[in-house]
Chain A
Amino acid sequence: MTERDDLIRETAETDLFASFEGDLPASGRRSSPVRLLRRYLPAVIAFLAVILIWEGLTRLLGVESFVLSKPSEILTSFTETFGTIWGAGLRTLYEATAGFVIGTTLAIATSLAAARWVGFREGMLPIAIALNATPIAALAPIFNSWFGLTNPFSKMAVVAVVVYFPVMINTTRGLLEVDPAELELMRSIAATPAEVTRRIRIPRALPYFFSSIKVASVLSLIAAIISEYFGGPQDVLGQYIVNRAQLFQFPDAWAAILVASILGVTFYLLILVAERRLMPWHVAFRSSD
């Protein structure tokens, strides 16, 4: 149990946003404003410093906008094109989240089947691991021809496939990596396999599931935007960025990228909050000792 806890703690520590997770309010504990400030101040200062250096150097060295736009130009473009880029952003977000939900749902169903039937698992997991290592976004042109270039489902399908494999593989692993003593305990009280799944395997798999959907939330936006690059309606982030870049309107392209970044971080943080709500008992969130 402690070995497993260490492993989970390690995973949490190497996690992309682990530094932010530390101070999300856990149940029963509120972070004081002073603590919050101390926590985030270094990040805010670093962020502002990077922006200032970026602005200063591009001005000082006279860097052209098509090489690297100045933060001030990007901000101007962000406010001027606000309605357009957020409209495009929300349409892209719709593709990303719909694909995310489809992929995650299928992944959960497959994982439960894989945990239940050894034959299914042994036949399918190696293939899934091989497919997971394949750059699946390359499927986008094929899905465009299958489902139609203008059908948002062709983008959702790419997202769903990209999301599916990491979620399925990690959730299956979580369902299977159960303390043998817990299985013996359940056997001693004559619990059925379904009860073992419900009371032991699913709670044990939750940390793995959440780790994987945190990664998948980020992947879903990447997959949506990349599949948009391959063509389709013009009022989405991917096409907007391509078009503005072709017209040398680079600050506009950067502003759209900023929208994508805000959407990605928001999506990720929402999952983080859900994770805390559902797993207050998780080792990484325990507030005392």
Chain B
Amino acid sequence: MSSLVVEARGVGKTFGTGDGQIEALRGIDLQIDQGDFISLIGPSGCGKSTLLRLIGDLVGPTTGTLVVNGKTPGQARLDRDYGIVFQSATLLDWRSVQKNVELPLEIMDFPSEERSTRATEMLDLVQLAAFADHFPWQLSGGMQQRVAIARALAFRPSLLLMDEPFGALDEMTREAMQQEVLRLWGETGTSVVFVTHSIPEAVFLSTRVVVMSPRPGRISDEIIVDLPRRRDQDTREQSKYFDLVIEVREALRKGEAGGAAT
């Protein structure tokens, strides 16, 4: 019980009121263990980002109960239990790379030497130490996103939330970033919830893929990815990997067909 990072029971979310109501999520039951790498995958409109935002208390649930690290999501947010990475890097133009990574540490009142030690450490981890004094606009999209990841991990949260973080990157950069995230996950022991609409990405990264279907958004299937935890470019060429990609694709198709029928 205590090893559960996220536990959702019958969680639903409806946006708007009256005639303009949109049911984004219905009856979500989900358990995420410490150290899991969970991908939420589904067509657009399936509520995968909404589910991530519920976990992060960026929106509140309409029904059901959601527990994060044994607390309400709101308390978990106030305790800085999670770091978040968005699709856009959301770096502040007027701060250097180093100062961007230090931002959460400033908010948490870390003393300045510790801020700079930790930021340097994090930049080492994402292999951007040489760019500490650069400004965000001087970096490529992939590098910016690595800074955002360093910022999210700077205060060593037990949970990392990622909302289509590589959606805006080209395929080559994207694969390199996936490798990087796996390495960080291995080195930090952080649990990860990763929203994506790329099937190969979900399979390559995850310990478990949560397949969602739209209107209203719900979990239609969960697929355990029983590939070894250490993965590299060769993993992408294994038949086991292909089987899992096909399995997720079929689950998605089935979920969508089911959604259309109701």
Residues of A within 8 A of B (CB): 1, 179, 181-182, 184-191, 195, 199-200, 203, 279, 281-283, 286, 288-289
Contact = CB atoms under 8 A, between A and B. Distances in A.
Nearest to A179: B90
Contacts of A187: 58, 77
B77 A188 contact: yes
A190 B107 contact: yes
A69 B27 CA distance: 84
Given A181-B90, A188-B56, A203-B93, 18 more contacts: A181-B88, A182-B92, A184-B58, A185-B84, A185-B86, A187-B77, A188-B82, A189-B80, A189-B107, A189-B108, A189-B155, A190-B78, A191-B107, A199-B103, A200-B92, A281-B135, A283-B137, A289-B137
B32 to A, nearest CB: 18
Interface in B75-91: 77-78, 80, 82-84, 86, 88, 90
B104 interface: yes
B138 A288 contact: yes
3 tightest Cβ-Cβ pairs between the two chains A and B: A189-B104, A281-B94, A181-B90
Interface string B43-84: 000000000000010100000000000000000011010111
Interface string B90-123: 1011100000000110111000000000000000
B147 to A, nearest CB: 13
A189 B83 CA distance: 8
A185 B90 contact: yes
A286 B134 CA distance: 13
Nearest to B148: A185
Contacts of B107: 186, 189-191, 195, 199
A218 to B, nearest CB: 27
A187 B138 CA distance: 27
Contacts of B94: 203, 279, 281
B132 to A, nearest CB: 16
Contact of B86 (A184, A186, A190, A286): A184
Interface residues of B, number: 23
A275 to B, nearest CB: 13
Contacts, number: 54
Contacts of A286: 137
Nearest to B74: A190
A119 to B, nearest CB: 22
Nearest to A190: B78
B56 A1 contact: no
Contacts of B78: 190
Residue among B83, B103, B135, B138 facing the most chain A CB atoms (10 A cut-off): B103
B84 A188 contact: yes
Residue among B77, B90, B155 facing the most chain A CB atoms (10 A cut-off): B90
A287 to B, nearest CB: 11
Contacts of A186: 107
Nearest to A184: B58
B66 to A, nearest CB: 16
A184 B83 CA distance: 12
Contacts of B138: 288-289
Nearest to A199: B103
24 contacts: A181-B86, A185-B84, A185-B86, A185-B90, A186-B107, A187-B58, A187-B77, A188-B77, A188-B82, A188-B83, A189-B103, A189-B107, A189-B108, A189-B155, A190-B78, A195-B107, A199-B107, A200-B92, A203-B92, A203-B94, A281-B93, A282-B93, A288-B138, A289-B138
Contacts of B90: 179, 181-182, 185
Contacts of A288: 138
A283 B138 CA distance: 11
Contacts of B137: 281, 283, 286, 289
A240 B127 CA distance: 67
Contacts of A203: 92-94
A190 B80 CA distance: 7
A182 B91 CA distance: 8
B85 to A, nearest CB: 10
A6 to B, nearest CB: 13
A240 B94 CA distance: 46
A186 B92 CA distance: 12
A200 B78 CA distance: 19
Nearest to A206: B94
Contacts of A190: 77-78, 80, 107
A60 B238 CA distance: 91
Contacts of B58: 184, 187-188
Nearest to B87: A181
A279 B135 CA distance: 13
A27 to B, nearest CB: 12
B108 to A, nearest CB: 7
Residue among A1, A187, A190, A191 facing the most chain B CB atoms (10 A cut-off): A190
A199 B108 CA distance: 13
Residue among A184, A185, A286, A289 facing the most chain B CB atoms (10 A cut-off): A185
